[in-house]
Chains A and B, each alone.
Chain A
Amino acid sequence: MTGTVTHHRPWPRRMVDMAGWERAAERLAAGQGTLLALWGEPDCVHMAILDEGASASPGIEVLSLACPDGRFPSVGRVHAAAIRLERTMRDLFGLDPVGLPDTRPWLDHGRWGVAAPLSAVPRPGQEESSAYPFLPVEGEDLHEVPVGPVHAGIIEPGHFRFTCDGETVVRLEERLGYVHKGTESLMRGADLDRAARLAARTSGDSTVAYGIAFARAVEAALGLEPPPRAVWLRALMAELERLANHLGDFGAICNDASFVLMLAHCAMLRERVLRTAMACFGHRLMMDRVVPGGVACDLDAQGVAALRALLAEIGKRFPPLVNLYDNTASLLDRTVTTGIVKPELARRFGAGGHVGRAAGRAFDSRRALGGYPPYDSLRFEVPVLEEGDVNARVWIRIREIEQSLALVAQILDTLPDGPVRVPLSPATGETREGMALAEAFRGDVFVWLRLDAEGRIARCHLRDPSWFQWPLLEAAIEDNIIADFPLCNKSFNCSYSGHDL
Chain B
Amino acid sequence: MPMRKTFLEGLLRRPATERPPPLDDPELAELGRKLDAAARQRLGRSLAIREVDAGSCNGCELEIHALNNAFHDLERFGVHFVASPRHADVLFVTGPVTKNMREALERTWRATPDPKWVVAVGDCAIDGGLFAGSYACVGGVSAVVPVDLHIRGCPPTPTQLIKGLLTLLQAP
Interfacial chain A residues near B6, Cβ < 8 Å: 261, 265, 320, 324
- From known contacts A267-B68, A268-B71, A323-B2, infer whether A155 and B101 are also in contact, taking CB-CB under 8 Å: no
A150–B66 CA distance with the chains assembled, in angstroms: 20
**Contact yes or no, A178 B130, CB < 8 A:** no
Question: Digit string of A228-269 for contact with B (CB within 8 Å is 1, else 0)?
Answer: 000000000000000000001000000000000100110110
User: Is A274 close to B, CB under 8 A?
Assistant: yes
**Contact yes or no, B53 A157, CB < 8 A:** yes
- From known contacts A155-B53, A320-B6, infer whether A204 and B134 are also in contact, taking CB-CB under 8 Å: no
Interfacial chain B residues near A113, Cβ < 8 Å: 99, 135
Question: Digit string of B79-106 for contact with A (CB within 8 Å is 1, else 0)?
Answer: 0010111000000000110111111100
Select one of B57, B65, B135 contacting A202, CB under 8 A: B57
**Contact yes or no, B100 A109, CB < 8 A:** yes
**Contact yes or no, B96 A181, CB < 8 A:** yes
**Contact yes or no, B98 A178, CB < 8 A:** yes
**Contact yes or no, A179 B131, CB < 8 A:** no
A180–B100 CA distance with the chains assembled, in angstroms: 7
Interfacial chain B residues near A186, Cβ < 8 Å: 130-131, 133-134
User: Is A136 close to B, CB under 8 A?
Assistant: no
**Contact yes or no, A179 B65, CB < 8 A:** no
Select one of B5, B63, B101 contacting A149, CB under 8 A: B101
A197–B123 CA distance with the chains assembled, in angstroms: 13
User: Is B127 close to A, CB under 8 A?
Assistant: no
User: Is A139 close to B, CB under 8 A?
Assistant: no
Q: In whole Å, how far is B167's beta carbon from the nearest beta carbon of chain A?
A: 21
- From known contacts A154-B64, A285-B155, A324-B6, infer whether A178 and B101 are also in contact, taking CB-CB under 8 Å: yes
B residues with CB within 8 A of A: 1-3, 5-6, 16, 51-66, 68-71, 81, 83-85, 95-96, 98-104, 108, 130-131, 133-137, 154-155, 157
- Given A113-B135, A114-B135, A328-B3, list of 19 further CB < 8 A pairs? A112-B99, A112-B135, A112-B136, A122-B135, A179-B56, A179-B98, A179-B101, A182-B137, A185-B135, A185-B136, A201-B57, A201-B130, A203-B58, A204-B59, A205-B62, A271-B70, A284-B63, A327-B2, A495-B58
Q: Report, nearest first, the 5 A-B pairs whose CB atoms are least far apart.
A: A204-B59, A182-B136, A182-B134, A152-B83, A267-B69
